[in-house]
């Protein structure tokens, strides 16, 4: 009678949920445990779903029975879903078919570039926290493009066209465009290139500074600057020519 009672107990418990006493079976594809500790007759047990918040088989750490983590719900679409808790964004389902989904915070879009003028940044050094003055909307600071080194036109001979003996004829000539640059467009090249070459009177020092600044400029195009002889030097050249005649 005891034997039959044991068999009945065995058949009933064989499908029972695993407990902390369960061990992995020899095949490594499940768990089993003895109905009576030490009886030497382990039977298969059912691995239950993990408790809320458990995402791995914590049995191996000896803390609880083996468990099967539930598959994560797919991410919710960008639109067309509803969450029962709109604060914690939990209990979310897709409106179209009521299937469960996991809320994912949307990636914030970048603020538009600030206008050339009419904006204020809370950190004027790092240029962050910028807003448009007109409507206080957020904007992203964008460094202004380096101005093209140019001078007013109208110099062919410093001896006659310039008013100061230290002046030279500074010539700014178009170089080449970097068509791969992020700021480049064909229309922009056409409009920017149009006024060149530009020649004007400038002091020798100012022209030399313009050359230095031009060499350091980081723009989508290049300009070549040349500084002619000063009015004083040109005057000596004219006297030399006259004496030779």
At 53 the pLDDT is: 61
- pTM to 2 decimals? 0.34
pLDDT tens track, the chain, 245 positions? 444 343 443 444 445 888 878 888 888 888 888 888 788 888 988 887 776 666 555 555 445 677 777 677 899 998 899 999 999 999 999 999 999 999 998 877 788 999 888 899 999 888 999 999 999 999 999 887 665 554 445 788 878 888 877 888 898 999 999 888 888 888 888 888 898 888 888 888 888 898 888 888 888 899 999 987 664 343 333 333 333 33
At 72 the pLDDT is: 75
Contact call for residues 47 and 58 (beta carbons, < 8 A): no
Residue 231 CB coordination number (10 Å): 22
How many C-alpha atoms does 182 have within 13 Å on its Cβ side? 2
Separation CA 196–CA 200 (nearest Å): 12
* C-alpha torsion sign, points 210, 213, 215, 218: negative
At 54 the pLDDT is: 63
Query: Please, which contacts does 205-211 make with residues 24 or more away whose CB atoms are closer than 8 Å?
Result: 205/166, 206/170, 207/168, 207/170, 210/149, 210/151, 210/170, 210/172
Beta-bridged to residue 223, according to DSSP, are 174
Please give the distance of CA 225 from its chain centroid, rounded to a whole number. 37
Q: What share of the chain is helix, strand, coil (3-state, %, to 5)?
A: 20, 30, 50
């Amino acid at each position: 009678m005891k034997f039959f009672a044991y068999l009945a107990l065995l058949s009933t418990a064989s499908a029972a949920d695993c407990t902390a006493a369960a061990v992995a079976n020899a095949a490594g594809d499940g768990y089993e445990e003895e109905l009576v500790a030490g009886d030497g007759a382990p039977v298969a047990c059912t691995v239950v779903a993990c408790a809320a918040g458990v995402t791995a088989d914590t049995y191996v750490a000896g803390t609880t029975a083996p468990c099967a983590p539930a598959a994560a719900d797919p991410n919710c679409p960008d639109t067309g879903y509803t969450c029962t808790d709109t604060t914690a964004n939990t209990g979310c389902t897709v409106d179209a078919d009521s299937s469960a989904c996991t809320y994912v915070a949307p990636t914030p879009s970048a603020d538009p570039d600030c206008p050339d003028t009419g904006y204020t940044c809370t950190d004027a050094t790092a240029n962050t926290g910028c807003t448009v003055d007109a409507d206080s909307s957020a904007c992203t600071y964008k460094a202004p493009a380096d101005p093209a080194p140019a001078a007013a036109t109208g110099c062919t001979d410093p001896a006659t066209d310039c008013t100061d003996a230290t002046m030279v004829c500074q010539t700014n000539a178009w170089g080449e465009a970097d068509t791969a640059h992020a700021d480049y467009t064909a229309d922009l090249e056409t409009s920017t290139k149009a006024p060149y070459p530009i020649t004007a009177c400038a002091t020798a020092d100012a022209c030399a500074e313009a050359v230095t600044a031009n060499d350091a400029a980081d723009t989508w195009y290049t300009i070549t600057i040349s500084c002619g002889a000063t009015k004083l030097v040109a005057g000596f050249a004219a006297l030399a020519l006259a004496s030779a005649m």
